[in-house]
Amino acid sequence: MSKADLDRAANLIASKRYQAALAITKPLLRRADADPRTFALHASALKALGRREDALPIDREAVRRFPNGRIGWHNLAATLGDLGKAHDAVKAAETAFQLGLDAPETWLVYARALVAASRLDEGEQAYRRLIKRRPGETAWGLELANLVWMRTGDLGASDAVLLEMSRAGAAPVPVLLARADLARTAGRADLAWDLMLNALRMAPHDVQALLATTQAAVESQRLGDAEILIGQALGQAPTSPAVLNQAAIVDLALGRPLQALAKARLGLERDPNNQSLWAWGSVAARQLGDPLYEEICDYDTLVRVFDLASPAGWPDMGAFLSDLDAALSVQHVYEREPANQSVRGGSQLSHFLKGSDDPAIKAAFGLFTTAINSYLADLQPGTDPLRSRKTKDWRYQGAWSVLLRQGGSHAPHMHMQGWISSVFYVATPAISAGAPDRQGWLAIGEPPLSLNPPCPAILHVEPRPGRLVLFPSYAWHGVIPFETDDRRLTMAFDVVPS
């Protein structure tokens, strides 16, 4: 086998020419002299294209043919983890360790898999071993700090993780921004603001620090500061979609929807499928009465409600939901919601539920798949960012579960990584049924920003056990708080074109 062929495939992957890389590696897989690198490159290209399920048999074949290949076992563990097959991912990572692999990346795969398998003590220990091996990776430390926060609700304990990383030599600005994320989640907006200002003092031209501090300024009504900060960010990266997105938010907060819409349009020229730019652009268009709003926020057409029938194997929906409730609830072992998410007063499972082997969870995804295909079949052509990408070929991008307790809610948000988003109700508060004040209801169309004139929710959906709601990922949506001593258990997922 030619090393040059594999080097060429690797270079194509590095330059994001994944299909070209697959064309080289696919015929090489069948050769008797195929080496482990062939399988690794082929699977890597598939995963880069979002074809994780197609990559799994490639990784399995690699460890079958090369059972002592440590990297092959790592790759298998990573793919299994990506697919939500946590228990199998744990075993594959442990095999890599037994063969002598001690790479930080494998410890990361292992730690995530242990947490997804609800082996939280072991997962936390694995994270601690990981960050000792590479203390400079702030994102990994934030995962551990977030885990500690969700398990305990103790800001001091979670913050200590990041402080230790700083003492070990991690770059100070990313650590300060990570600490600020945790502080905001814990309700310490004052502390978060001080941490962000410290980050800016150290790196006044750091775009991420400028954007984070700008958003904090908007949320705390420091609009003069927000305008100065976003001006500095635009000076550093005037055509960045992320910077233009934040600039549109500042313009809206300052009552300048015309400028906001112009910035959103400019950002979309560079990133046409950016869901956040579409979401904020829709707000600006709504403020202006621009036709774009009616075009992309036709919620009567783009939001669909399905009251699903029970899947095969269960006598009725009540029995099915009872089993599904049990399968999900046993995993909701956290005290608090994750940092920097929309959940308020509850917990969230972030691992990919689609890979679960639990019969009820698997059956739920069978129902979802049928509903998604029906939704797409009924979707008429259009120019909006949902209908313009209509296809029969799609995949689940993420799938998770949220448990809200008394007083729980979702802040208005959208899904940056999605195309079609969803909520499926497993258990709902009794007070939500027909509630005139809509406690626990889904509210669609209200952005997370106070505006003049105001932009209240356009559509409300009553939560009912067994009900699935599908909507565009750029649609603002949240959950109205409910005040009873009850629980609201849901599943959710994002779908993207294949």
**What confidence score (pLDDT) does residue 33 get?**
87
Task: Enumerate the CATH 2.60.120.620 domain ranges in the chain, comma separated.
Answer: 300-497
**What confidence score (pLDDT) does residue 1 get?**
56
**What confidence score (pLDDT) does residue 485 get?**
87
Residues 6+ apart with CB under 8 A from 79: 43, 47, 52, 55, 56, 59
CATH class of this structure's domain 204-293: mainly alpha
Structure tokens at 12: 């194509």
Structure tokens at 374: 């029906």
CA distances in angstroms from 103 to 93, 110, 133, 142, 451, listed in the order given: 11, 11, 8, 19, 50
pTM of the model: 0.94
Backbone angles phi, psi at 345, to 5 degrees: 75, 50
Q: pLDDT of the chain along its 498 residues, tens only?
A: 578 989 999 999 999 999 999 999 999 998 988 899 999 999 999 999 999 999 999 999 999 999 999 999 999 999 999 999 999 999 999 999 999 999 999 999 999 999 999 999 999 999 999 999 998 899 999 999 999 999 999 999 999 999 999 998 899 999 999 999 999 999 999 999 999 999 999 999 999 999 999 999 999 999 999 999 999 999 999 999 999 999 999 999 999 999 999 999 999 999 999 999 999 999 999 999 999 999 999 999 999 999 999 999 999 999 999 999 999 999 999 999 998 888 899 999 989 999 999 999 999 999 999 999 999 999 998 989 999 999 999 999 999 999 999 888 889 999 999 999 999 999 999 999 998 999 999 999 999 999 988 999 999 999 999 999 999 999 999 999 998 889 999 999 999 999
**Angle, to 10 degrees, between the axis of helix 86-98 and the axis of helix 104-116?**
150
Task: Enumerate the CATH 1.25.40.10 domain ranges in the chain, comma separated.
Answer: 204-293
Q: What's the CATH superfamily of 300-497?
A: q2cbj1_9rhob like domain (2.60.120.620)
**13 residue type, one letter:** I
Cβ atoms 130, 140 nearer than 8 A: yes
Backbone angles phi, psi at 462, to 5 degrees: -75, 130
**What confidence score (pLDDT) does residue 136 get?**
86
In the chain the first and final C-alpha atoms are separated, in Å, by 32
Residue 102: enclosing H or E segment and its boundaries?
none
Half-sphere exposure of 425 (CA within 13 A, CB side): 26
Half-sphere exposure of 165 (CA within 13 A, CB side): 32
3-class SS letters over 107-133: HHHHHHHHHHCCCHHHHHHHHHHHHHH
